Amino acid sequence: MAPEEKYPDLTNFKALSFDCYGTLIDWEAGFLSTVRYLTSQLPASHPLNTEPPIEAMKRLNDVTRAYEHSHPTLPYNEILAEAITAFARDELKLSGLSDSIAEPFGNSPGTWVPFPDTIAGLQKLAKHYKLVILSNVDNKNISATVEKLAPAKFDAVYTAQDIGSYKPSHRNFEYLFGHLRADLGVGRDKGELLHVARSLIADHVPAKELGLPSVWISRGGDRKDGSGVGGDYAALRDKVAFGWRFDTIGDFADEVERQFAVKSKVS
């Protein structure tokens, strides 16, 4: 197959909806320092005292998702603070995690950094689509993150705090569809929306369930030895149906640019 025919057409969509943390922002690096501080207090022989503490981060993410499910209206900064306290107590058997650790951790997503390819990639994509964020993070943290992503700009930002539930709930995606139609004139039912995300569990599983076209930004998650907390592709293969996979946002943006350049030559 010729290189220009490798990927299905990307030029007919009008808007891209993005998961933010893990896709645009380095979620794992954001978790790393706090989780490492906790695991370093464990005995050297403890299975979670590894470097880097990937398994511990996965365990903390599982605890966080459980809190999201049981407390769908609690803002994400509070979810994180509750989750890391429970994780330290119940999983690591560390007593008395102080508010000086839990509260700053809850407020830390707004300080996490973009992947090196993110901003330039978003600027390329903005030439062809409306850009929207659909995030599980609270409004305060996402506002700080959007500032970090400048000069890339978004046409809309929708959060779990606004919606009252967390992805992978279908409610979050239905909120997205309704608001895109009302706010930006983008019709999901007309095939005008493409979802772009790293997380298989939070994004690509519900995308398949809802018939929403999606792009997997895998960031190494496609490899057996790849790190990450978005879900095990081998285990979830039958539950996802993304039509495109790219390692990075930068790679995705380059393919979009290539396709639009080819289209302009033949039109």
How far CA 97 is from CA of 34, 58, 100, 105, 239, in Å, comes to 12, 19, 8, 12, 37
Q: Which residue has the tokens 């992978």?
A: 168
Amino acid in the structure at residue 202: A
Alpha helices in 74-228 (DSSP H): 76-86, 99-106, 118-125, 139-148, 160-163, 170-179, 205-210
**Dihedral of the alpha carbons of 25, 137, 217, 127, in degrees to the nearest 10:** -80
Answer yes or no: 19 catalytic: yes
Q: Is the peptide bond before 52 cis (omega within 30 degrees of 0)?
A: yes
Per the residue annotation, which of 9, 19, 203, 225 is the catalytic one? Answer: 19
Q: Is 247 exposed, middle or buried (0-12, 13-18, 19+ CB in 10 A)?
A: middle
Catalytic residues: 19
